[in-house]
Amino acid sequence: MLQRLQKIIAQAGIASRRHAEELIRSGQVRVNGEIVTELGSKADPDHDRVEAAGRVAEIPTELVYIILHKPPQVVSTLADPEGRKTLRNFLRGTPERVFPVGRLDISRAASCCSPAMASLPRACCAPPAACAKRIGSR
């Protein structure tokens, strides 16, 4: 199935979608050996060889979901320009690419979900979701 190159690159963990756009514009993305510079270009990750910044885009087939208890005074992100503790401090050694879902106040302690892909949390957190949910923090 054809997908936008930005999505393929992000799912492979090479770069965020926005950074993938910069890689495309700067000529650092190849599809089947051909340089691609046009945003919105598509490829089939199952059949095409996509390379970005010299790395082959391999999308993981196994999904991993992590529920993490975020202590107070930890920022719900993987990088903080102010140098505060982030969720990355608690995910060291996790081989899969994960990213936080949702934002929690720095002063709150709560659970947050970090999936390799956003489909489960999106399905559970969307307003018309058919599953019961209880969200709490202290």
- The 10s digit of each residue's pLDDT in 6-25 is 999 988 889 888 999 999 99
Taking 50 as the threshold, does the pLDDT of residue 137 lie above it?
no
State how far the Cα of 41 lies from the Cα of 38, in Å rounded to an integer: 6
What's 18's DSSP letter? H
SS3 of residue 110 by DSSP: strand
- Give yes or no for a contact between 102 and 76, defined as CB atoms under 8 angstroms apart: yes
48 flagged as catalytic? no
Q: Which of 46, 48, 80, 105 is catalytic?
A: 105
State how far the Cα of 84 lies from the Cα of 106, in Å rounded to an integer: 10
Per-position DSSP letters for 36-52, written without gaps between them: E--TT-EE-TTTS-EEE
Taking 70 as the threshold, does the pLDDT of residue 136 lie above it?
no
7 class by beta-carbon count within 10 Å (0-12 exposed, 13-18 middle, 19+ buried)? middle
- The structural domains of the chain, ordered by start, are 3-56 (3.10.290.10), 65-123 (3.30.70.580)
64-86 residue pLDDT tens:
777 777 788 888 888 889 999 98
pTM of the shown model: 0.61
Q: Tokens 């892909």 belong to which residue?
A: 117
